[in-house]
Each structure stands twice: as C-alpha cells, then as structure tokens.
Amino acid sequence: MEGGRSGPGAGAWPNIVVFGAGAVGCHYGAKLAIAGAPVTLIGRGPHVEAVRERGLWFDSGGTRTVVRLAADTGSGPVAAADLVLLCVKSADTAAAAREIAAGLRPGATVVSMQNGVDNVERARAAAPGLDPLAAVVYVGASMGGPGHVVHAGRGELVLGAYPGGPGAADPARIAAIAAVFERAGVPCPVSEDVRAALWTKLVMNATFNALSALTRGRYGPIVADPGLAATARVVIDECVAVARADGVAIADGEALHAAALALGAAMATATSSTEQDLGRGRPTEIDSLNGYVVARGDALGVPVPMNRALHALVRLLERERAARA
C-alpha cells in the first residue's frame, strides 16, 4: 500500500471499497470497519438504503454489532480506493473487472475474494492490465436481509499472487495487504502457491455447495449422514484427479475428506451459498464449482460422473425455479 498505510501498527488505514456487498463482502467490510478502516460497500439499492439508514447489522457469536460505514450503488468510490475487494459472483467477474479498471487509480490493489478457481484469469481477460491478487475465503456467512449479514463460522483468508500475471508479483505489497486484514482480526497467511489453495477451497465448495442445495441441509447433518459422507468422498476424489491432471499439487482424497468432515462439524449450522441462492430464486455459482470440475475434467480426459450429476441436478433446480418466478 502507498504512504505507509498498510502496516499492522500504522495509524492510517487504506481507503477500502467492497465491490459486491453480498455475504462475503459485508462480512469482511464489517470486520475492517469495526477495526477502524474507512470502508465503502457497493451493492444493490435496497441493501445500500438500509446501510445508509441504520448501519450494517453484523450478527456474530450471538451478538449484533451495528457497523457504520459508507454505501453506494455506483462504482464512483473506486476512484479514491487504495484497496478494492472484488466480491461479486463469478458470473459477474468480467463486467465488474471492466467497471473497476475504468476508475482504478495507479497504485491501488484489487483482491479477488470469490468462489472458484479462475476469477483472476477472467478479470485479466476482461480488463487487460488489471491483475488482482487472489484470496481464498473461508467463512460461513449469509444475508439476513438488506443491511443484515449473519456470520456462522470461521473467517480466515489465504492471500497470494495468481500465476501468469502481466507483471511480477510484489511480495511486499502482498504482505502489506495481508497485514491490513490481520490488523482487523482476520487471519490472513500468504501462500506461495495460491492456485493450489484455491483448488483446495474448490474441493470444499464442490463438496458442500451442491449437497447443501439439493438437500436444503446444513453442513453438520450432511457430514453426519453416512451416505452423504460417502458421496462427498467420491466428489473429492474426482476433484483431486482433475487438479493433479491440471498440474496443481493438492493433498490426496483421504486428507481432504477428513478436512471436509472437520469443516462440516465446525460449521454445523451453516448452509452453502448455492442453497441460499436457490432459496432466493437467484442464479447460483454452480458452473464455477462442480461445473468447473466437469469442464476441466472433460478437457483433460478425467472422468467426473459424481460432479457431473451434482452440477446437472443443481442446474435443473435453477431452471425450475426460474420458470416459476
């Protein structure tokens, strides 16, 4: 960050814009604002109106905090930002990247905080010269309504430079961004292989998002059910096979299955973003989760029948709910 603003003990904070004020954006925007950072949320009209009127309601650990921060429906605040957190759905990455790039000042940093593996690549393709850092997000959060975010568990990030960017990654800049989150009480280790970290998160998303959506269930009952736990293992083994065929070094299926069971137990009351999207009649990100595994598996000649089935079933639910809307 510029001007010595980013160190964990610095007196001044970077000016932060959250581009896409859904559950993830609101959670981290709230954490940063509570710690004292100037934060502006960019989101939909009803949400922005609620935040402006009464603040952002942040429910965590049985306590509600009313967080006062700026909110806007337009991208104008990007022009004054030191740090932009890109938190839109994967399908909106290209459009958001172009809008951010049009207003971003020299020296500002963009961080992709999105589900899926290829959002940085999408942003680069849509806005040449834009080179976001990648953050792997581990948080259980949902929107309780306009201006209301509910934290169900965890909240750490893993940060790094996605390979293949237009310029050399700056370790000092990455460390400075990580320090901003750490200063706000958000664990944020830096990874030298963020692509592997993103794939590891994708394994968890491919496991829980579709199963939670199809069963309308929370994570705890999913991992406690022997049949669903066995299904999760098949999903994970397919993901590992695709990742390794794609040259990504991730852990084996046994280790990742154990991690998934532990995650489900730790976030027993959480539901997936895919389940939440279906419940609200919104498009899901399933194409960037199980659908991405299917696409890469097909390209690499790796069979992925379980991921294909889960992807197809969620897409069927999407179409049916869209037809009824």
CB 189 within 8 A of CB 178: yes
Which helix (H) or strand (E) covers residue 316, if one does? helix 305-324
Outline where DSSP puts E strands in 1-97: 16-19, 39-42, 56-60, 63-67, 70-72, 83-86
* 31 a catalytic residue: no
34: which 2 tokens? 């509570």
Alpha-carbon distance of 224 to 261, in angstroms, equals 8
**Residue 79: how many CB atoms within 10 A of its CB?**
12
DSSP-derived letter for residue 8 is: T
Q: Which residues, 6+ apart, have CB-to-CB distance to 282 below 8 Å?
A: none
Which helix (H) or strand (E) covers residue 283, if one does? none
CB 22 within 8 A of CB 139: no
**Residue 165: how many CB atoms within 10 A of its CB?**
15
CB 200 within 8 A of CB 250: yes
Closest listed residue to residue 116, CA positions, set 130, 132, 136, 86: 136
Catalytic residue among 47, 89, 122, 201: 201
Alpha-carbon distance of 108 to 141, in angstroms, equals 27
Cite the DSSP H helix spans in 184-304. 194-215, 219-224, 226-245, 253-266, 273-279, 290-300
Q: Crossing angle of helices 194-215/226-245, nearest 10°?
A: 150
Alpha-carbon distance of 142 to 140, in angstroms, equals 7
Helix (H, G, I), strand (E, B) or coil at 146: coil
Active-site residues: which are they? 201
